[in-house]
Amino acid sequence: MLQGIRAFFAERDVLEVDTPVLSAAAITEPHLQSFYTRYLDQRYFLHTSPEFFMKRLLASGSGDIYQICKVFRDDEQGRHHNPEFSMLEWYRLGFDHHRLMDEMEQLLKQLADISFSKIHWHAVTRLSYQQAFIAAMGIDPLAANAGDLKQAAQQQGIEIPQGMNEDDKNMWLDWLMTQKIAPSFSKTGFTFLFDYPASQAALARVSKNDPRVAHRFEVFFGELELANGFYELTNAAEQRQRFETENMLRSQRGLKAVPIDENLLAALESGLPDCAGVAIGLDRLLMVLLGEIHISEVIGFSVDKV
């Protein structure tokens, strides 16, 4: 699989890069928790993605780049989770998220054709976040409020988890995604879900035509999430505001605020080229290619064996 990935990018003149695992800053996303260590009395975080360093390279003129690396997330161990896992991340100058989805589809097809794969390639399904919710639940996620989503969940017989903030629209969207939307995806193929709500933009730019929508996409096989991609935000001031908002959300949820990556913001300020980027979990992808059901089957040593 790794040979196939490297051959794919070599054919397209995309440069392989290597960036640090340790960073003085951390990701502010409330759903992701970082490991950290200390060096000379300073706290350093193990990266959850090489994104911030890769964007600094892009701003410095690297051109198209990709990286295969280990990343770390302080998450539960389970059928689809290991706290240390392998990631492929790449960035293409002049691409928007639709063009990057085209390229990801080409990569998945090439990897599905290699000899060890147990899946037979066929065309992927592409649908917008809005289309997916309307098809599965009959509700428009862009127009609905938290109360509307709660009512839709009750009508569908979806159990409300204990401790959930029922006034938080994004919590409802995430819950319904796991309980109803993703389970409706094809069980034998890839689904590309694009144009997420702007409230879930993360590092994606918001649509100029519809401010309710962010140019973000995710890729699933069945209901298993494999990849997350963005038509990248290049505005430093807007990115700073998002980081600060996410840190406030962390505090509201009883989590520690984390240092914002000032080096990344400086790189955005200096000029990040117009680009799109995506990260894909390689262990999960290998699970799909091999037809395995547990992540421990595709990694040499899971966390309980180290």
Domain assignment of residue 12, yes or no? yes
Q: Tokens at residue 262, please?
A: 């000032």
Dihedral (CA of 289, 188, 102, 227) sign: negative
The end-to-end CA distance of the chain, in Å, is 24
Which residues have CB under 8 Å from 52's CB, separation 6+? 23, 25, 27, 261, 263, 264
Domain assignment of residue 184, yes or no? no
Q: Is 218 left (phi over 0), alpha (psi -120 to 50) or beta?
A: beta
Are 191 and 127 in contact, with CB atoms under 8 Å apart?
yes
Are 255 and 34 in contact, with CB atoms under 8 Å apart?
no
As a whole number of angstroms, the distance between CA 95 and CA 50 comes to 19
Average pLDDT over residues 279-305: 94
Q: What is the bridge-based pairing of β-strands 65-72 and 15-16?
A: parallel
As a whole number of angstroms, the distance between CA 193 and CA 101 comes to 10
Domain assignment of residue 134, yes or no? no
Residue 136 has pLDDT above 80, yes or no: yes
Domain assignment of residue 179, yes or no? no
Summarize pLDDT for 186-199 with one digit per residue, the tens: 999 999 999 999 99
Q: Which domain holds residue 272?
A: 2-124+189-305
What b-and-e string marks burial along 9-30, b requiring 16 or more CB atoms within 10 Å of the CB? beeeebeebebeeebebbbbbb
Query: What is the reported pLDDT for 118?
Result: 85
Residue 122 has pLDDT above 80, yes or no: no
Summarize pLDDT for 61-85 with one digit per residue, the tens: 999 999 999 999 998 778 899 999 9
Summarize pLDDT for 12-61 with one digit per residue, the tens: 999 999 999 999 999 999 888 999 999 999 999 999 999 999 999 999 99
Q: Which residue has the higher pLDDT, 167 or 7?
A: 7
As a whole number of angstroms, the distance between CA 273 and CA 232 comes to 9
**Across all residues in the chain, what is the average pLDDT?**
94
Domain assignment of residue 182, yes or no? no
Domain assignment of residue 226, yes or no? yes
Domain assignment of residue 10, yes or no? yes
Number of domains in the chain: 1
Name 39's bridge partners: 42
CATH number reported for the structural domain that contains residue 26 in this entry: 3.30.930.10
Q: Is 18 helix (H, G, I), strand (E, B) or coil?
A: coil
